[in-house]
Amino acid sequence: MNEEKKAVNFTIVPDEDHTTPIGEREIQEAQSTHLVRAPVRARMVVPVQMIPGLIAALQENFRLYQESFGPPKGPTH
């Protein structure tokens, strides 16, 4: 285990298309741009009683977004 460790200052930003682990190419890019794109995935466990409140909050947030910026561009899933 004589691997040389490298210290790189970088910022991680969400990237929906990036699904592979960070490789040497991404490390080299991070050294010059100080930016690493990483997938955003999360698993959440919430009590069933919270689900209607979460749905209502998301719908309200979406309604406020549409009032401020107009309907979203592209497909809505």
Q: Token pair of 19, please? A: 């699904």
pLDDT digits (tens, 9 = 90+) for 56-76: 999 999 999 888 888 777 776
pLDDT in the model for residue 2: 57
pLDDT digits (tens, 9 = 90+) for 10-60: 677 777 776 677 778 877 887 888 887 777 777 778 899 999 999 999 999
pLDDT in the model for residue 59: 95
The strand ranges marked E within 7-57 are 11-14, 35-38
pLDDT in the model for residue 50: 93
